[in-house]
Structure 1
């Protein structure tokens, strides 16, 4: 294992003994890790999971894999393609990062693992901790989809239903994370998760014969898929495996779009939060309804550096996009259709959208959001 580093103040700490965040400024960690070039020709003979990109991963030879990764890429139009990440073991793309967190926790052997989530990350952490034989507690907002709550419980995790919004849930988990013997399997604060989600782009690169599309469109709440994509693009470019970097197109629900507002105002960070903060507006896209993502600066910087932009979608557009995808044979949860709802406004070359979670997790979007 390598070391954590803080992108804000430069603090470094060994993975084996580090706090869950930088002890000096409380920022999320990055990872001191350098990927080496993956040979495209060698891949067909390798394991058929995300672990085939071993040169790009900070862990190897996992004991907790469920065969995650290698999801299909299908055409939706002549220029827009969808990657079916809802066909993962726990039915969402979060498995990509969760498997690395669970593998890391297995090696560190804590007394307990905790996580917080709006649903999908929690189900993924619960499943992979079950696979690893780790005691796991997942904190979720009390309004989380009943089907996601049922899935977390089915994997044997302890469940903490937290009154209030997603930020209240995160605060409760972070307080518990400071207890001795606890591994905080945070998909936001722990960079191993981002090194899992980056395999999404490595798979695109492989399936497209060593190239990438002109744009990668991703839903953004805490930004774990976007930041993973940015990592992979940087690594592929640094290794000479791509010559052009795709634009990152970030999508938020119009009802909860702090990053889009900051981006279009020219800001490089979110404004200082007033006290008390107003509650976020309701949205069908519960998985990206994050009012203050801890990695906001990194997300804004990545989108700008790529030449991309932020797009927002309305509740009516989300609902219509879910029905449209269902009519094409793809039943996707309401958060996961946000990128397809936005893709119609992008006309600058080829693009790939992720279909991040299965429709069975939330059912069809209702006609109104209360």
Structure 2
């Protein structure tokens, strides 16, 4: 077996060995990063490889596991002139979370825990449950009481135990962490475990390949825990560091106005979350995260890219979902949040210096991350 990279705490430098079941820094209890700096393969060398995210093997910290369900390599479609969508809701469990879950559970399979524990508002839990089923690992998913019945049923269908938590998304996370601290527990956290980020980054590696070695000027990404945005930042850094792109795209982070802690911090010019977090009900349950553990990293990644934060209202999310459905793309409200931001004159608001003629490449990309079949339409409350 290939050696696994060690983890380290980006806040204080504490190291955690690859064989450890520790899910956070033992000193500050913060999330971990990987001591891993891969070099992507050239476009030419990708020809003829497996048609999944594992074609980017050089950039992944884990050898292709036996639990792969063929995740990755999702299509691109044009939504409007200048704006394209990546259809990540066409993954095996109908969300982009499969990109991270296959690495995370591949790691768990290597470490052999007694129990896999996760927390989720639905999509991540379904994905973790599916890959645990594939790996033959017992799994418990803690979900907040407001999680849709459809998503809870999807999790149970894969043989996982669903533990309904009386409270919000953060309450579910706290319950899962407490369970994960029990001996032999593996916390399959898409927020804390860096393997997840190294899976989600493959979305951008695919964009780079599909666009012939180039990237759009702006990536518009829904953000709750920030796993897709931070994965995108990882991929951009890898491609730029290897000299495979000559310019980094701007990362535009989208939050629901009802739960927008990062957008508020951005407006205040803060480097981290500060003060009380206002909370209200939102259709976009997947990004309704009041205190994302990687908040500081998310804010820095957006700032360093030359991007910005955007917020969208409940009406804008609902109308964006209906607009996508009218184009043949039925996605959940959370997935529609990015399009809600992009369709509101985003191209006109982007500084001209960010946009350039790029050989026919749409300058803006929006990922559609989860299928509408999981939650149904966004309705007025």
Distance in 1 between the 2:79 and 2:16 partners?
A: 45
Aligned to 1:359: 372
1:78, CA displacement in angstroms? 1.4
Residue 18 of structure 1: how far off its partner (Å): 4.7
SS at match of 2:253: strand
Match of 1:283 in 2: 282
Structure 2 runs not aligned, ≥5 long? 356-362
What is the alpha-carbon distance in structure 2 between the residues aligned to residue 118 and residue 44 of structure 1?
38
Secondary structure of the residue that 2:69 maps to in structure 1? coil
Q: Does structure 1 conserve the Cα–Cα contact (< 8 Å) formed by 2:21 and 2:184?
A: no
Task: Tell me the secondary structure at the aligned position of residue 95 of structure 1.
Answer: helix
Q: Distance in 2 between matches of 1:247 and 1:86?
A: 23
- Per the TM alignment, residue 61 of structure 1 is displaced from its structure 2 partner at its CA by 2.5
TM-score of the aligned structures, taking structure 2 as reference length:
0.94
Determine if the alignment matches structure 1 residue 106 to structure 2 residue 133. Answer: no
Distance 1:37 1:29 in 2: 22
Q: Does 1:319 align with 2:318?
A: yes
Question: Which SS does the other structure have where 1:53 is aligned?
Answer: helix
- Asked if 1 retains the 8 angstrom alpha-carbon contact of 2:142 and 2:172, the reply is yes
- The correspondence for 2:123, drawn from 120, 141, 159, is 120
1:262 aligned onto 2:265: yes
Shift of 1:103: 0.3
Q: Report the count of equivalent residues.
A: 364
Q: Following TM superposition, by how much is the alpha carbon of 1:272 offset from its aligned partner in structure 2, in angstroms?
A: 4.2
Displacement over 2 Å in runs of 4+: none
Equivalences for residues 152-301 of structure 1 within 5 A: 152-273=155-276, 280-301=279-300
User: 1:88-103 maps to which residues of 2 (within 5 A)?
Assistant: 88-103=91-106
SS in 2 for 1:70: coil
- Tell whether 2:330 aligns with 1:331: yes
Contact in 1 for aligned 2:23/2:187 (Cα 8 Å): yes
Residue 142 of structure 1: CA displacement?
1.4
What are the Cα deviations for residues 294-314 of structure 1, in whole angstroms up to 9, with x where unaligned?
100000000000000000000
Contact 2:125 2:141 in 1 (8 A): yes
* Residue 309 of structure 2 corresponds to residue 310 of structure 1: yes
Hey, what does 2:36 align to over in structure 1? 33
Structure 1, unpaired ranges of 5+: none
Q: Structure 1 length normalisation: TM-score? A: 0.97
Give the match's secondary structure for 2:191: coil
Distance in 1 of aligned mates of 2:64 and 2:375: 34
Structure 1 residue 214: Cα displacement: 0.4
